Amino acid sequence: MNWEKLVTAIFGSHHQVTRLGDVISGTGELRGQTLAVVGTTDHTAIGIEIALAQAQLVLETVQNHPGRAILLLVDTQGQRLRHRDELLCINRYMAHLGCCIELARRQGHQVIGLVYDQALSGGFITSGLIADACYALPEAEIRVMRLPAMARVTKIPEEVLEALSASNPVFAPGVENYVAMGGIRSLWTGDLAAALQDALNTAPRVDVRATDGAARGGRMLAAQVIEQVLADGVAA
Amino acid sequence: MKHSFAESTARMRVNHLLDNGSFHEILGPARRVVSPHLALLGVPFSFDDGVVIGSGILNGQPVLIAAQEGEFMGGGVGEVHGAKLVGLFRRALRDRPSAVVVLAESGGVRLHEANAGLIAVSEVMRALLDVRAAGIAVLMLIGGANGCFGGMGLIARCADYVVMSDIGRMSMSGPEVIESSHGVEEFDSRDRALVWRTTGGKHRYLMDDCDALVEDDIEAFRQAAIEGLRHTRPLTLQALLQEHALLTNRITDFGDCKDATDIWQRLGVPNTSQVTDLEAAQVQVLKPLATAEAL
């Protein structure tokens, strides 16, 4: 779904969301509540300028609209793969965006992530994945790497990866896999306004993804290992 | 005696970094907490899943510590590896050490368990920021031959204090990935001098992307970490506005530079062609020149 259809599906005509370059921003009204909208479109690569532009929007919201909920709309092919970005320390720019979102959360802004088209690796970590909770449309795609490329890098035959991915959500692309592992809280279907309202009503403030992953059977070890680390060497 | 950081294993690094004999490993190899996903793919696994975690004393102060083992899957973050880091940060919230020290050496997300690794990196980041919000310092020490890339590069820049040697690189995408995506003209991954002056410790130090530059010596990392114990960087609006201004100005000031040497020259560093041959202490002398110029 393109971003214009998406914001209309969520907010009807009650929004002022616009596009500047590949960054989308503005506000939307949901049942009387104003939300800040920050995101990207056209599968854009997150280079230093786009990371900074999004950070700016989040900081402006924190400064000018205390407490306003933030909806992060994710569509990215990942971090920009250029020498210039690395030279100028792109990881610092992206970490800054993540820290701005973290600050917003700590100052009482709810932050909801939505993968509405595509989310890849690095570009996703400091946007949707750092929200209170991240959701996805069913037709969205989330991945680190496609199986053919993964087969080349890991030197494991693609057929083997293909066969294993049918029963194990741990490496293959797909939003369902991320739901099973707790990384995506749920898929939004049907009435998107209602889905957002529900997210605002129920999104947890603390990180529950590991326990979600265990409860859903998609990531059985993370929560258990975290508990073991907490318990190890502590006298009973 | 000098111990090369880069050539040491994760356990050796931890043992030499902390006060003598003070390290107590948490969930050590004897506990056999391994990645089930690697076994399923027929790939060798490790009894610590490539990361050593525990508690210890640094210059008399209690710390929690983690060290990634670059020799195992390039330090890649998988489900168990990531959960050990998350658990360590949550433990810090409970036990209130003086700092959490991370000896980062990682290519980022471990592809064999990519989805779990990606989510884990995000969980580590949130857990780390919780620890910082509690006023506990988080230190990143980067000095392994595999560098600190991808998700771990993001995590490193979320810390209070970053220490690097020149061998240790910090960045997002590896040069091979950039070359395969945009060609050898974009980034020649076999040009080692280019790779290191783009992402190595000296460049990061001159640009203020790391707080301390040290030689490839565990004792030097130890001294820098002790200094780092005093540096907490509260995550305030004021601090982030400053960071935002710095990053904005950087694009204005250096956005047209084609090479690290162009940036160094503009920073006022003399004899830029010789920077790669300098000792860490000599680069430290250049830093005030560079900073004065930038102001």
Q: Is A39 on the interface with B (CB under 8 A)?
A: no
Residues in chain B, how many? Answer: 295
Nearest to A41 by CA among A140, A116, A144, A153: A116
| CB < 8 Å to A129, chain B | 118-119, 122
* Residues of chain A predicted below pLDDT 70: 235-236
Q: Is A92 on the interface with B (CB under 8 A)?
A: yes
Q: What pLDDT is recorded for position B272? A: 92
Question: Which residues face A215 on adjacent strands?
Answer: none
* Cα B277 from Cα B255, distance rounded (Å): 26
Which tens digit of pLDDT belongs to each residue from B69-110? 999 999 999 999 999 999 999 999 999 999 999 999 999 999
Is residue B90 within 8 A of residue A234, CB to CB? The reply is no
Q: How far is B121 from chain A (nearest CA, A)?
A: 8
| CB < 8 Å to B245, chain A | none
Q: Does domain A3-137+188-204 have CATH number 3.90.226.10?
A: yes
Q: What pLDDT is recorded for position B264? A: 95
Residue B223 lies in domain: 10-170+210-232
Amino acid identity at B40: L
Nearest CA in chain A to B240: A100
CB contact under 8 A, A209 and B119: yes
B36 found inside a domain: yes
% of chain B exceeding 90 in pLDDT: 93
Tokens 């490993």 found at: B25
Q: What pLDDT is recorded for position B128? A: 98
* Cα B137 from Cα B61, distance rounded (Å): 12
Which tens digit of pLDDT belongs to each residue from B236-281? 999 999 999 999 999 999 999 999 999 999 999 999 999 999 999 9
Q: How far is CA B99 from CA A49, B59, B64, B87, in A?
A: 33, 12, 7, 15
CB contact under 8 A, A130 and B126: yes
Q: Is A163 on the interface with B (CB under 8 A)?
A: no
Q: Quote the crossing angle between the two packed helices A48-64 and A90-106, to the nearest 10°.
A: 20
Q: What pLDDT is recorded for position B171? A: 97
Which residues make Cβ contacts (< 8 Å) with residue B209, sequence separation at least 6?
Answer: A89, A92, B157, B162, B170, B203
| Domain range summary for chain A, segments of one domain joined by + | 3-137+188-204
Farthest-apart Cα atoms in chain A, separation? 60
In this structure, what token pair is assigned to residue A87? Answer: 């030279």
Higher local confidence (pLDDT), A121 or B148: B148
Q: How far is B1 from chain A (nearest CA, A)?
A: 32
In this structure, what token pair is assigned to residue A202? Answer: 């129920």
B279 found inside a domain: no
In the predicted model, is pLDDT for residue B1 greater than 90? no
Q: How many domains in chain B?
A: 1
Q: What are phi and psi of B158, to 5 degrees?
A: -95, 0
In the predicted model, is pLDDT for residue B291 greater than 70? no
Higher local confidence (pLDDT), B191 or A145: B191
Q: What pLDDT is recorded for position A145? A: 87
Q: How far is B129 from chain A (nearest CA, A)?
A: 8
| CB < 8 Å to A46, chain B | none
Q: What is the pTM of this model?
A: 0.97
Nearest to A99 among B79, B91, B235 (CB): B235
* Cα A88 from Cα A82, distance rounded (Å): 10
Question: In this structure, what CATH number is given to the domain that contains residue B162?
Answer: 3.90.226.10
pLDDT band, residue B283 (cuts 50/70/90)? very high
Nearest to B251 among A48, A160, A229 (CB): A48
Q: What pLDDT is recorded for position B295? A: 46
Q: What pLDDT is recorded for position A235? A: 55
Q: What pLDDT is recorded for position A236? A: 47
Question: Residue A101: which H helix or E strand, with range?
Answer: helix A90-106
B204 found inside a domain: no
* Cα B145 from Cα B140, distance rounded (Å): 15
Is residue A82 within 8 A of residue A47, CB to CB? The reply is yes
Interface test with A, best of B26, B48, B96, B115 (most A CBs within 10 A): B115
Q: How far is CA A4 from CA A8, A55, B287, in A?
A: 6, 22, 48
In the predicted model, is pLDDT for residue B38 greater than 80? yes
Q: What pLDDT is recorded for position B2? A: 87
Nearest to A131 by CA among A143, A146, A119: A119
Q: Quote the crossing angle between the two packed helices B218-228 and B10-17, to the nearest 10°.
A: 60
Q: What pLDDT is recorded for position B10? A: 98
* Cα B8 from Cα B69, distance rounded (Å): 9
Whether complex ipTM tops 0.85:
yes
